Homo-oligomer: A and B are copies of this chain.
Amino acid sequence: MFRIPSASGFFMTNHEEIMQRVLALAEKGRGFTSPNPMVGAIIIKDGKVIGEGYHRAFGAEHAEVVALRQAGEDARDADLYVNLEPCCFYGKTPPCVEAIQRAGIKHVYTAMIDPNPLVNGKGVAQLRAAGIEVTIGIAEKQARELNRGFITYFEKKRPWITLKMALTADGFIADVSGRSRYLTGEESRRYVKQQRQRHDAVAVGLGTVFKDDPSLLPLNRAGFIPQRIVFDEQFNIPERMQLVTDDFRRRTLILTTNMGKRAKLQHFKGLGVSVIETEADDFGWLNLEKSFNKLRELGITSVYCEGGSQIAGSLLANHLVDELQLFIAPKILGEGLRSFSGIMKSFEEAIQLHWLEVMQIGTDIFIKGELLPCSPE
């Protein structure tokens, strides 16, 4: 239990503080709620927490319901803090708006409107119509960051895409003969493994599978294991690869345009590896945009793309990157494999980024950026 100082001068700060705690609760569901959002809820009365909860997993009770049950009768005239607008439709569970109304909540504080068109302001409208006060926008930036996958899922009709690249100081991902293991240091590789767990899925092109035979597993193998996706146009992935043979192979998903290899398909199915058909683009290559729509249909709201340069170039060219993560190794090659294949921009047409963050991670430099819209703002 924590008490909220009553000095009215700190009132707004308290809203922020409480919402931070709500977000921390919501975070506990990470990995298990998709395509649902991560949601936390806290009920407060007379400066005391009388109920709290979070959405544990897809299909499970909503955070508001858990918190309301804990508060019980005390919920009457209490304040509810929740990082997402309460739902107002019958899905896997009954609408939270009705539960809030029934419990007699006085004031609902929320961080953001639900981008799901089934809600999208209707939840707030219903609460207000029932005489409940509603305040929107507390810690909205952090709330949007937390559920960026869920938001992108509705706003862009595809998962959130993070593109990760490990480069030399002069921009190469490998030397001229393709060698690159290990380009970055141990701390960076550890950081990458943590980042995997912050996405619903991790994806690579077949080239990377051939080259590195990666496991694409997160740091904590006892926790949530993201789906492991291979973009494999012709379903050429060898059966000996870790992604096909290891203990987590049920979390492997191969996207291909070639569903004609019956025996191999059958074999993979038997192993528990999913093979999903996707469309080809005009050049006969796998259509990335359509593939991501496919992943969205499977309930994947965020993908951590780990290259190679083929995939990286295509993602950039198609503006399919929400966040760019660069790990700059303390090495210079002079010549080697370029980071982004299939792109050749003039200086004036360069892909424009905005650097968000930079830090040293072990022996490397980590830079986080976002793409700016194609046309200058």
Contacts and interface: CB of A to CB of B under 8 A. Distances in A.
A353 interface: yes
A358 B355 contact: no
A348 interface: yes
A192 B353 CA distance: 22
| Copies of chain A in the complex | 2
A222 interface: no
A324 B328 CA distance: 14
Interface in A338-373: 338-348, 350-355, 358-360, 363-365, 367, 369
A179 B344 CA distance: 13
Contacts of A183: 347
A131 interface: no
Residue among A167, A331, A332 with max Cβ neighbours from chain B (10 Å) = A332
A197 interface: no
A174 interface: yes
Interface size class on chain A is: 35 or more
A360 B169 CA distance: 16
Contact of A353 (B167, B169, B367): B169
A334 B338 contact: yes
Interface in A266-320: 313, 316
Interface of A: 167-172, 174-177, 179-180, 183, 313, 316, 324, 326, 328, 330-336, 338-348, 350-355, 358-360, 363-365, 367, 369
Given A177-B347, A333-B351, 6 more contacts: A169-B367, A171-B338, A176-B344, A330-B354, A331-B353, A358-B360
14 contacts: A169-B367, A170-B338, A179-B347, A180-B347, A316-B332, A332-B340, A332-B350, A333-B351, A335-B344, A336-B344, A354-B363, A358-B360, A358-B365, A365-B365
